[in-house]
Amino acid sequence: DAGVTQSPTHLIKTRGQQVTLRCSPISGHKSVSWYQQVLGQGPQFIFQYYEKEERGRGNFPDRFSARQFPNYSSELNVNALLLGDSALYLCASSFGTRDRGYEQYFGPGTRLTVT
């Protein structure tokens, strides 16, 4: 089975622009989470979605938004980009239920550079 896939792999944007990152979960997984990882730090939780509903939100400004589609893929949108938004954006999927397991499987990430 394919793992979690993310697109694009790399992205360069200018301050003030908007960006959309995409994630396809592992087949059968209904939960998708997004993380931001700044160089040298651990991943920081942004959002979690399960069955198209937002289940959790981290301490990020409203410029960050996300959604999950009926096929369980997800998009992360960031508006009004700041230099500090430059980071590796990681998507993780899981079954998200007690009986199927909570382990999160991460994709390779999207490297966003804001200039």
Partner 1 sequence: LAKTTQPISMDSYEGQEVNITCSHNNIATNDYITWYQQFPSQGPRFIIQGYKTKVTNEVASLFIPADRKSSTLSLPRVSLSDTAVYYCLVGDPNSGTYKYIFGTGTRLKVLA
DSSP helix/strand/coil, 44: strand
Helices and strands, counts by H and E, the chain: 0, 11
Asked if 104 is part of the footprint of partner 1 (rule: CB under 8 A), the reply reads yes
Q: What's the gap between Cα 62 and its chain centre?
A: 15
Q: Determine which residue in the list 29, 43, 74, 87 makes contact with partner 1, applying CB under 8 A.
A: 43
Asked if 56 is part of the footprint of partner 1 (rule: CB under 8 A), the reply reads yes
Asked if 100 is part of the footprint of partner 1 (rule: CB under 8 A), the reply reads no
The amino acid at 38: V
Asked if 4 is part of the footprint of partner 1 (rule: CB under 8 A), the reply reads yes
For 56-90, the DSSP string reads EE-S--TTEEEEE-TTS-EEEEE-S--GGG-EEEE
Q: Which stretch binds partner 1 (CB under 8 A): 11-19, 63-71, 74-82, 104-112?
A: 104-112
Q: Which stretch binds partner 1 (CB under 8 A): 11-19, 37-45, 62-70, 79-87?
A: 37-45
Q: Is 68 in contact with 31 (CB distance < 8 Å)?
A: no
Which positions lie near partner 1, rule CB under 8 A? 4, 33, 35, 41-45, 48, 50, 55-58, 88, 90-92, 96, 98, 102-109, 111
